[in-house]
Amino acid sequence: MLYMQHSQVMIVYTEKSDREVWNSFKNGDEAAFNYIYRKHVADLYNYGMQLCQQEDLIRDCLQKMFVDLRKNQGKLGDVQRIKGYLFTIFHRELFKFLKKEKKLNADLITLECEESIFFIETSHETKLIDEEFALEQKAEISKALNQLSPRQRQAIILLYQEELSYKEIAEIMNFNEVKTARTLVYRAMEKLKEIFEVKQA
């Protein structure tokens, strides 16, 4: 495909299904690769920053991930939803980077994260926060979210901020069953409810 401007790439591929875009990429379409990168890299970066807040490491991880994707594009399997797939492999690669950098111990690879590494900075995309909320309200929500367990916070981010499905969350968090992800989110929301009820009492 001939070279296209950024806006042209986004328009052309936005009209295609994820399966069509992915198949084009697998077949060597550079424009499809550029679209995948441009559409998802910011969300992946923000997610990475929520996990470890090490900008250089996250950028290195993303670069390696996309280089590997391009290098192995002809060997990749079918993908129904690109965002969920990218988050799954990025999550795995990021923890490999972190382990290599000796920033985490072995237990963290199973997502039993220490409280210090997974604090949420609420973003404007987060559906839990309406744009009309005052800054103080956003701060209170952020504080409440950080009272959840690391896994609960991660699940809330993936579901409400990144808009991933329970199935995708289960894959990213290495759960054997989707219902485990549902239960985790349910307990997180119950905990948030308790936190706000106590605060308002």
pTM: 0.71
d(CA 163, CA 67) in angstroms, rounded, equals 25
- Of 146, 109, 87, 113, give the one whose Cα is nearest residue 138: 146
Domains and CATH numbers, the chain: 1-110 (1.10.1740), 115-201 (1.10.10.10)
With 90 as the cut, is the pLDDT of residue 90 above it? yes
Indicate the range of 66-70, 127-131, 184-188 predicted with least confidence: 127-131
With 80 as the cut, is the pLDDT of residue 32 above it? yes
d(CA 162, CA 42) in angstroms, rounded, equals 11
Indicate the range of 5-14, 60-69, 181-190 predicted with least confidence: 5-14
Note the pLDDT tens digit of each residue in 60-79: 999 999 999 999 988 888 99
d(CA 43, CA 100) in angstroms, rounded, equals 23
Query: What are the residues whose beta carbons fall under 8 Å from the beta carbon of 24, sequence distance 6 or more?
Result: 13, 16, 31, 32
Amino acid at 95: F
d(CA 39, CA 33) in angstroms, rounded, equals 10
The predicted structure's pLDDT at residue 10: 67
